[in-house]
Amino acid sequence: MDIFRALKICGGAARRPALACLGIDDAALRRAVRAGVLQPGRGLYALTTADPNYVALLQRRQLLTCLSAAPFYRLWTVDSAGPRHVHHRRGEGAGGEIGHGGLLLEPHPHRPVAALGDVLLHALRCLPWRESLVMVDCAVGRGDITLDFLRQRLPGKRNGRARQVLEWVDRGAESMLETLARTYFRQAGIRVETQIYIDGVGYVDLLLEGRLIVELDGRHHGEWSQMKKDQRRNNASVTQGFTVLRYYYDDVVHRPDQMVAEVLAVLAGLGGSGPASR
């Protein structure tokens, strides 16, 4: 492998040990520098196209973690804006950064990113409950990590809040909106089933108390063909005795209290009525 390909694998910049793992020896590094590869620090090599912020991360010997590592692992996030979360062996962050100390696992071999397990543990200890919940729910739902792994590494009273978040993690959600809506409804004492198949309708996002279907749509602007398809599904559900409500991103993320209040009102109005069978 040539160094240009190796640096691309590493995100555009890398330290010598990471390049050595890809088969790049010292002679190849010397030739690369003569060929135009940058050397922004001792033992650090970068393509001319490398992101300066990425290079700076390596210069400071930091790792992305917590919320800032979510895009790398393709984890759901509610709001990815804000300061960068980094790990440093002394728990330090540069100006405006949030520093995290303590790693239990080896970081990614080619990128300055903490291991997934450490990323989630940092998130559980650092972020508000819903932000950490959706990250963990995504990873657990994909089978990338287990709840037992996380629980065993969150002992004692100081980790009590983090363990409480894990109580709401449940496999089956197909989107961040499903995770959040399911949790809000369960916290309100509503029985919720996820991704339930109904004959003539197909899979529905959430089924509440066995009779109220809640569909969730993350689109900001629906296409007409999809809107017609959704409406036909709603009609098919109603003809079978179900009631249907549909909520969108803004409802779930920005107005959850209003959404839950509406659902509780509908369930109260339904009383004991509902489909005769499923």
Question: Do the beta carbons of residue 117 and residue 145 sit within 8 Å?
Answer: yes
Tell me the C-alpha distance between 108 and 202, whole Å: 40
**Residue 214 reports pLDDT greater than 70:** yes
Query: Which residues span the domain enclosing 13?
Result: 3-59
* Beta strand pairing call for 243-248 and 38-41: unpaired
Same domain for 160 and 77, yes or no, is: yes
**Residue 141 reports pLDDT greater than 90:** yes
Stated pTM of the model: 0.86
Same domain for 109 and 156, yes or no, is: yes
Same domain for 228 and 184, yes or no, is: yes
Answer with the one of 148, 166, 184 that is the final residue of a domain.
Answer: 166
Q: What is the pLDDT of residues 45-82, one digit of tens each?
A: 999 999 999 999 999 999 999 999 999 999 999 988 88
* Percentage of the chain modeled with pLDDT above 70: 87
Tell me the C-alpha distance between 211 and 242, whole Å: 5
Q: pLDDT tier at 270 (50, 70, 90 boundaries)?
A: confident
Report the candidate in 146, 170, 142, 172 with the shortest Cα–Cα distance to residue 73: 142
Same domain for 201 and 228, yes or no, is: yes
For residues 10-26, give the mean pLDDT: 94
Report the pLDDT value the prediction gives residue 252, as an integer from 0 to 100.
96
Same domain for 99 and 157, yes or no, is: yes
Q: How far is CA 118 from CA 69, 84, 126, in A?
A: 10, 16, 12
Number of separate domains in the chain? 3
